[in-house]
Each structure stands twice: as C-alpha cells, then as structure tokens.
Amino acid sequence: MKLAKTLAAATCAALVLMVFTTHLSKSSADSATRGRAVVHSIRHKELWVTHQRDSAISILKFPSGELLDGFSLPAGTQPHIITFHSGKYAYVSGMGNGALSIVDADSRQLLKTLNFAPALCHQGKVSPDGTIMLVSVLPTRKLHKLAVDESNGSWTPLSSVEFPVSGRRHSAPSSGQTASAPMYRR
C-alpha cells in the first residue's frame, strides 16, 4: 500500500517511469579480500522513479516503497527512461536537454553527460555483452552507437544512422491489419 501511495503522489507531480535494478556489493578487489574471489550478494532491490518536471530521481526500496534516496539532475534535463546494464551505472535519457546522463548507481553522482540533440533523447540501452550502447534521439531520427567499457568508466561515440520518414503504412501480411506507425527504411 505504501508503494502505491508513493507512486500515486509522484504521478500527480510528474511523468513517472519505473525501472527495477539490483545493486551488487562492492568489488572483490578491496584490501579485505586480498585478491581472493568473493561472491557478490544482492543488497536490495530499488525502484528508480523519474520526475520530468523537476529533473529529479527518487529511489524507492522495492517492494515496500520506502524512500531510500533521491537526487537531482541539472535543471531542464527532464529525465525520461532509465536503463541499467551491470547495475553499476544508471543511463538516464533527457527529454528536455537531449542528453544521456550517466550516473554512478551507488553514489548517485552524475559522472558524464553525452549531448546528442537540443531535446528529446529517448533512451540509451547497452547490448547484452556490455560493449555497445544504442541511443535513440527523436527529433533527429538518429540512432547513435557508442563503445561501452563500464569497467573503466568509458563511453565513446562511434557512429550514428538517420532514419528517414517514409510516411507509408504497410499491411501486416498475417492479419491484414494496417500498422499504426510508419515503417522506416535505410
């Protein structure tokens, strides 16, 4: 019930998007382990809630809804979608500033901002093997490709591709229904 009330209050104030993540314990390379392998354990599950109006993120304990933490991004960011790959970094798309904000998920500190357009950076998603990220930007109709190296905290833009608007709608052969969005071709 507490989670429902917290989310209801947040939805009244701003557009909310929820993303689940689990954080792992600190690296096994610290001095206490002296190089031995240590099994990482799950500390807790978190629910990250975006507040577009305030350019803020609330972090709730899941499933209880208890407020754990929160932080603000630069004014005008208007965070939209948050994704995680390893749980070490949060990738926050900015609908207001057209940038992808990279946040240390444990310290909640903004580490890097990658600017792609004046506005409407929709989402950044890391590939399953963790080496590539694709970032979609709505007004430019571009998909940006980045090299990712989370272990060294490195994100390097490689290339981008633009998707022209065809305006044609295509029929779905199996059902005969018309698609609701234009299909893009390169």
What's the rounded mean pLDDT across residues 29-44?
Answer: 35
Cα torsion at 134, 136, 140, 145 (round to 10°)?
A: 0
CATH code linked to domain 2-23+41-162: 2.130.10.10
Model confidence pLDDT, tens digit, residues 51-93: 999 999 999 998 899 999 999 999 999 999 999 999 999 999 9
Place of tokens 């610290």: 30
Model confidence pLDDT, tens digit, residues 125-153: 999 999 999 999 999 999 999 999 999 99
Evaluate if residue 166 carries a pLDDT over 90: no
Using a cut of 0.75, tell me whether the model's pTM lies above it: no
User: What is the structure's pLDDT at 2?
Assistant: 52
What's the rounded mean pLDDT across residues 96-115?
Answer: 97
pLDDT band per the 50, 70, 90 thresholds, residue 167: low
Radius of gyration of the chain (CA): 19
User: What is the structure's pLDDT at 160?
Assistant: 96
User: What is the structure's pLDDT at 34?
Assistant: 31
> In sequence order, which residues have a C-beta less than 8 Å from that of residue 52 and are 6 or more positions away?
14, 15, 78, 79, 80, 95, 96
